[in-house]
Structure formats: structure tokens, C-alpha cells
Structure 1
Amino acid sequence: MSDDAELLADLWNEEVAQGYDEDSAYMYAPEVLDPTVEFLARRAADGPALEFAVGTGRVALPLRARGVRVSGIEMSEPMARRLRAKPGGEHVDVTIGDMATTRVPGEFGLVYLVYNGISNLLSQDEQVECFRNAARHLAPGGRFVIEVGVPDLQRLPPGETARPFHIGREHLGFDTYDLVNQRLVSHHYRIVEGHTATFRSPHRYVWPAELDLMARLAGLIRTERWADWSESPFTDTSTTQISVWQKPAAGSAPA
């Protein structure tokens, strides 16, 4: 395990896991989660699916309820325990490990990584290995799906390194950017029972064209790119991307 992987494993500890679902409640809203599950279920077709960074099962459990056989890889044992304790959690096989290197048995029609998970890998080399690991798990013709934000640097004035992403009565969130090293740190400040709780998570932001090159290095070809799970067109003003790459069918060569 790399030093960065150890850092992230320590970051997603028991305390964070206990409050993760509540802190991410807006991601469970039907208008957010239902299109996500529908999109992935269609791409899985009749094959099994593998979720990288499966977390507490926000997506894996409703996808499993749709009849898709889902397995997961998760770095954090506390997060995995939360998943296993939920109704239906026993039907999702979770392997503890690094999504860039951990191999699980079998081939999958779909591998997916949602909610900016690719940015938790803090070097370009690790992100490339994540694509290669996805390709190793995919059956011929299988798809790799990523949901990730588009770097918001157009809104960053010269000399400024911080941008807020949420301002509320009980939560303040902002990102600080390291433009030279393509890194950012997300800062969260929450008011909990009259006290301020803080949480900081490091990320490596990544560009759409960079992801496509990583996919080509892994032998995958992009077939789709959308602005959201409802398949809105991706434009130069989109703040998120949903991208799909496919492993060539047996006997064919990448374009």
C-alpha cells in the first residue's frame, strides 16, 4: 500500500464512517440516486457489477435491489462495516483493499466509480492504475463508468486559491487549490450540538481529456460522456461528467 493509500485509509475512520450517510444525505435524495441507479443498471445489462470505493453502499444496495449482482472494493473497513449492517448488505461482497491494485475473482460487465472517487487517488500514476485495474476486471465488451467533477478553475481569480462550494446554517465547505501539483483539499466545517467539527480530505483533480488518455493506456475506449446521470449534454460549462469507457469485444482491437 502506498503512503497516499495509507493516508486515505486513516482518513476514512470509524468516526467519519458513523456520520457519513447523514453528512451525505443530499446524495440519497431520489432525484439524485434514482437516475444514478437507472443509468448503471442499463449499462450492467445482465452481467455482474463491481463498485470501486463502494463505501457504505449508497449506490450498491439499490442497484442490487434492481437485480444486479454487485461486488465492491473498499479501502475503509469502518465504511464497509456500515454497508454490511444495512438491510441487504449481506448480498454485496466487499473486499477490503486499494481500488488501484486489489483484484477480486471473476469478470464483470460493469465497473463503476462514483461521487468523485477517482480524485481520492492522489497521483496520476495511481489514477492510471485504477483504469488498468478496471480493465482487468471487465469482461470483453464491459464498461467502466466514472462520475467526477470538472475542475472549477475558470471561477478562480488570479492569485486566489480557495473557493466555497457550500454555505449553510450548519455547514461551510470550501476547496483550496494547489495548481502546480493538480491537488485540492476539501474543507468541511459543521456545527454539531453547538461545537464545530472539521473534516479535510485531499484530492487530485483530473480533466476529461486526461481521463480519456488514462483509459486508452488501459485499452479502453470512451463511448459516452454526459453532464449528469439523466444524460444531459456535456458542455464547456458542465460542472460534472459521467463518462463511459468500453473494453473491446474479444477479437477486436482498440481504435
Structure 2
Amino acid sequence: MRQDEVWDTEAAQRYDTPGTGMFAPEVLGPTVDRLVELAGGGRALEFAVGTGRVAVPLARRGVSVTGIELSRPMLDRLRSTVDESTIPVVVGDMATATAPGRYSLVYLVYNTISNLLTQAEQIDCFRNAARHLDPGGRFVVELGVPDLRRLPPGRDAAVFHSEPGYLGVDTYDLVRQHLVSHHFTFDGSGRVRLARSPHRYVWPAELDLMASVAGFDLESRHADWAGAEFTAESDSHVSVYRVR
């Protein structure tokens, strides 16, 4: 399953959920506040900018934002909100595409680095971030912590969310560190819509090694954008790397 098959027109049309989920003020507000702080008045580059969930409010806070995006349907949704002069976007893979200029901040949000399905591609993503950064610039990665403790012995699937009208199931390939998230949505007629997304999960320690290979040092790690302490029970982290 290629990423351009996952982030197609249908996915782009249903991605934005204003005011709820990832777009809820209590989720988006701390994200933008922290990125404004980390940009430090400089330019920011978002890898996999998508429909602009983060880039648009960040630009409205006065940060000069550029994006890289592989999915043209997602970019079309962004363009329905802001034009090229407000948030310029390079169409391409975040592991290899080059945006013009240099930046004080490059960032990846909401597990996006896991969309790269090999370790080599994920390392290339770090290297690409380093190529775009000013000396001392920062690369920020928001990523979930693999929750393999949910897997019963001998099983390779686990429910990660269940509510009326929706069921989320992850299936795991433990050898390749792959998982596929299966999203089942049920309507009132009894019909079921299935959407799937493949990922390569990464442990924090492996992420730090990738960063070191690409010339970064870990500056900070928190459990969320508001700065909560990262612990053994944290299900995600926001890691800030500084280029050497």
C-alpha cells in the first residue's frame, strides 16, 4: 500500500474535523504555541504539511511557513484555505524533496515519520531535515510510542479504539516493525467503510540513534506539546533535536 493510495481524494475530503479530534483547540493550541516558541522568529518548514492543520494557524501567528507534501489531494484541500503566497509547498517525498532556502525549524507532527516504511527512509528524513536547517536549528518530531503490551501472547492484532459507529484495529508485523491501522466506520444502514494506513513504528531510543546518525542531538523530550513529563507510561512524545 503506497502513501499516495492512502492519502487519496476521499481521505483528503474527510481529513479535516474542525473543532474536534486533532483540530480541537486543546490539541492544536499547545502544538502551535510550542512551534512558535521553537521557531524563535525564524522560518519553519513542515514535512508532510497535509491540509494545513498546523501550518495555517502557525502562519496566522506570524511564522513564515513552507511545506513539503506528497499527496496532491491533501494539497488541494490546503489550497482551498490559503494560497501559495501564504504557505508555499513543494510537492514531493519528505525524505528527499528540497524546499528553497534555510530554516530555523523543521517539524513533523502526528506520527508522520512512521509513514516512511523502512528505517533507511526514516534516516533519510532526518538527513533531509538537517540539510534544510540553519546552524543550531531544530527538528521536532511528534510520534506515538509502540504499545505492544496490548498484544496478547501469540496474537498480532489489537483494538486501539472503540466507540459507537467506529472501531480501530492495529495489526502488527513484529519482525519488520510494521503496523497497519484499520479504521472501520459504521453507518445507520449497516454498511461499513474501511480505511487503512501502514506505518513503521519506532521506539524513542531508535529515533535518537537515527538523529545522531544525521547530525542531531536530543535537546528535549516531553509527553505532549504542553511539556508534560515523558515517562514509561507515556503513549506519545514530542522530541526536539538540535543540529550540531
| Fold in common (TM above 0.5) | yes
Deviation at 1:22, TM superposition (A): 3.3
Would you say 1:58 and 2:53 are equivalent positions? yes
Aligned match of 1:27: 22
* Cross-structure match for 2:11: 16
Greater alpha carbon shift after TM alignment, 206-215 vs 156-165: 156-165
Cα distance, 1:168 vs structure 2: 1.2
Q: Which runs of 5+ in 1 are unaligned?
A: 249-255
User: How has the CA–CA distance of structure 1 residues 151 and 80 changed in structure 2, closer, same or farther, with 3 Å as cutoff?
Assistant: same
Helix, strand or coil at the partner of 1:131: helix
One-letter amino acid of the counterpart of residue 146, structure 2: P
193, 198, 204: which one aligns with 1:202: 198
Q: Work out whether residues 17 and 23 of structure 2, in 8 Å CA contact, stay in contact via their aligned partners in 1.
A: no
Q: Among residues 43, 62, 65, which one is paired with 1:67 in the alignment?
A: 62
CA root-mean-square deviation: 1.5
2:173 equivalent to 1:170: no
* Other-structure match for 2:86: 91
- Normalised by the size of structure 1, how large is the TM-score? 0.92
Deviations 1:15-41 (A, max 9, x none): 111111139940000110000000111
Q: TM-score, normalised by structure 2?
A: 0.96
Instruction: Give the superposition deviation at 1:112.
Output: 0.3
Q: In 1, distance between residues paired with 2:107 and 2:224?
A: 15
* 1:128 maps to 2:123: yes
- The CA distance in 1 between the partners of 2:169 and 2:143, in whole Å, is 17
Distance in 1 (alpha carbons) for counterparts of 2:134 and 2:165: 45
Q: Which runs of 4+ in 1 moved over 3 A?
A: 22-25, 87-90
Matched positions, count: 243
Greater Cα shift, 95-104 or 23-32: 23-32
Q: Which residue of 2 aligns with 1:160?
A: 155
Say which of 225, 237, 242 aligns to 1:229: 225
The CA distance in 2 between the partners of 1:53 and 1:207, in whole Å, is: 21
How far, CA to CA, are the matches of 2:51 and 2:165 in structure 1?
23
1:65 and 1:23, CA in 2 relative to 1: closer, same or farther beyond 3 A? closer
The offset of 1:95, in angstroms, is 0.9
Q: Could you tell me how far 1:158 is from its partner in structure 2?
A: 1.3
Q: Which residue, out of 229, 244, 248, partners 2:240?
A: 244
Give the direction of change, closer, same or farther, for the CA distance of 1:106–1:118 in structure 2 (3 Å limit).
same
Unaligned runs of 5+ in 2: none
Which residue in the other structure is 1:220 paired with? 216
Partners of 1:148 and 1:193 in 2: CA distance: 34
Identical positions, percent? 57
